[in-house]
């Protein structure tokens, strides 16, 4: 994994979030819409505000792997970027005259799930949230008329797309070590967890989605398309890597055969 690329990326990009200037116009949305956005964005704000303690603990367990050198540093910077998202979303909730949350049930389930298995599963649950965030911030940036919400949603959408690539790079490194049957099993459970999560989020954020003129079914369909796009890119890379490994093996065994034939020829 090219961890140095991600270290450079996060170092440059997170700074932009700290410096991002938001329009200074007051919120002019009707009260009902404003409140629906404020509540919904406050839930995402809580989700972004974790300190990454468990994730950092897990990354220590793979710190010695040669192909993941520098991953710990990249994860530290990734967590810092998520915290910069929490700060931007807190400013947005303030702009919408909403209240920040300390606890919320979907967020508690997410946190509980992330600690269930191992680092790969932790990343997968995080990734599930990021795939949902891609749809959510995409819709906010396109359909919310408030300029502050639009500005923040656009920036977060771009960042989350970067996070999806970061997680894909990591999962590629881990999944390529699994046999195809295990890769299929991983795909199945990832798809199932993503599907259930999208349904729960669509229901929990239904007032906000209604204000954006998006039905829960439409939100779920968009979420499924994002998952398919992510998964097909990952599978393409895994397929290419397997073909490459097979070709290398074939050329090595071909070389071994020809070299042993060359060694035998003087004798025969
Ligand atoms: Fe984020
Ligand atoms: Fe993210």
pLDDT digits (tens, 9 = 90+) for 168-192: 999 999 898 888 898 899 999 999 9
pLDDT of residue 262: 55
- Residues within 5 Å of ion ligand 2 by Cβ? 130, 160, 163
Q: How far, in Å, CA of 3 to CA of 51, rounded?
A: 21
3 has pLDDT over 50: yes
CA nearest to 245, candidates 171, 180, 170, 164: 180
Higher pLDDT residue, 50 or 46? 46
Q: Are 198 and 216 in contact (CB under 8 A)?
A: no
How many A from CA of 243 to the centre of ligand 2? 31
Dihedral sign, Cα of residue 133, residue 134, residue 135, residue 140: positive
| First-last CA distance in the chain | 48
How many A from CA of 74 to the centre of ligand 2? 13
Confidence of residue 64 (pLDDT cuts 50, 70, 90): confident
Q: Which tokens belong to 63? A: 């710190």
Q: How far, in Å, CA of 53 to CA of 115, rounded?
A: 11
CA nearest to 223, candidates 132, 130, 106: 132
From the CA atom positions of the chain, what is the Rg in Å? Answer: 22
pLDDT of residue 94: 96
267 has pLDDT over 50: no
pTM strictly above 0.85 = yes
The per-residue pLDDT for range 203-257, each reduced to its tens digit, is 999 999 999 999 999 999 999 999 999 999 999 999 888 888 888 878 877 666 6
Task: Write down the residue that tokens 């960042």 correspond to.
Answer: 159
pLDDT of residue 258: 62
How many A from CA of 255 to the centre of ligand 1? 49
Ligand minimally distant from the alpha carbon of residue 163: 2
CA nearest to 34, candidates 153, 151, 150, 144: 144
CATH of 3-11+29-249, one of 3.40.50.300, 3.30.300.30, 2.60.40.10, 1.20.1260.10: 1.20.1260.10
pLDDT of residue 257: 64
Look over the chain and give the mean of its residue pLDDT values, rounded to a whole number. 89
Count the alpha carbons within 13 Å of 174 in the hemisphere toward its beta carbon.
17
Distance of CA 223 to CAs 98, 127, 152, 163, 200, Å? 26, 12, 20, 16, 12
Ligand minimally distant from the alpha carbon of residue 162: 2
Domain ranges for the chain, please list them: 3-11+29-249
Q: How far, in Å, CA of 108 to CA of 94, rounded?
A: 23
3-state secondary structure 104-169: CHHHHHHHHHHCCCCHHHHHHHHHHHHHHHHHHHHHHHHHCCCHHHHHHHHHHHHHHHHHHHHHHH
pLDDT of residue 228: 97
Count the alpha carbons within 13 Å of 140 in the hemisphere toward its beta carbon.
31
Higher pLDDT residue, 60 or 237? 237
How many A from CA of 59 to the centre of ligand 2? 17
267 three-state secondary structure: coil
How many A from CA of 163 to the centre of ligand 2? 5
Confidence of residue 166 (pLDDT cuts 50, 70, 90): very high
Confidence of residue 58 (pLDDT cuts 50, 70, 90): confident
């Amino acid at each position: 994994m090219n961890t140095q690329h991600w270290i450079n990326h996060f170092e440059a990009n997170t700074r932009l979030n700290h410096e991002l200037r938001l329009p200074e116009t007051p919120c002019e949305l009707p009260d009902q819409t404003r409140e629906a956005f404020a509540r919904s964005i406050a839930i995402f704000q809580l989700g972004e505000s974790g300190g990454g303690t468990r994730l950092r603990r897990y990354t220590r367990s793979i710190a010695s792997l040669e192909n993941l050198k520098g991953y710990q540093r990249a994860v530290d910077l990734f967590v810092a970027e998520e915290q910069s998202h929490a700060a931007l979303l807190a400013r947005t909730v303030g702009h919408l005259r909403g209240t920040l949350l300390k606890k919320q049930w979907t967020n508690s389930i997410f946190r509980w799930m992330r600690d269930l298995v191992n680092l790969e599963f932790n990343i997968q649950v995080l990734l599930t949230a990021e795939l949902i965030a891609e749809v959510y911030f995409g819709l906010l940036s396109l359909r919310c008329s408030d300029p502050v919400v639009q500005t923040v949603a656009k920036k977060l959408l771009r960042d989350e797309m970067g996070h999806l690539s970061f997680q894909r790079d990591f999962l590629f490194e881990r999944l390529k070590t699994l046999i195809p049957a295990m890769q299929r099993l991983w795909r199945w459970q990832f798809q199932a967890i993503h599907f259930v999560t999208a349904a729960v989020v669509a229901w929990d954020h239904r007032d906000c989605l209604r204000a954006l003129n998006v039905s829960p079914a439409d939100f779920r369909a968009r979420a499924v398309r994002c998952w398919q796009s992510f998964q097909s890119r990952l599978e393409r890379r895994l397929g290419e890597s397997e073909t490459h490994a097979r070709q290398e093996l074939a050329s090595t065994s071909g070389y071994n055969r020809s070299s042993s034939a060359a060694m035998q020829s003087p004798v025969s």
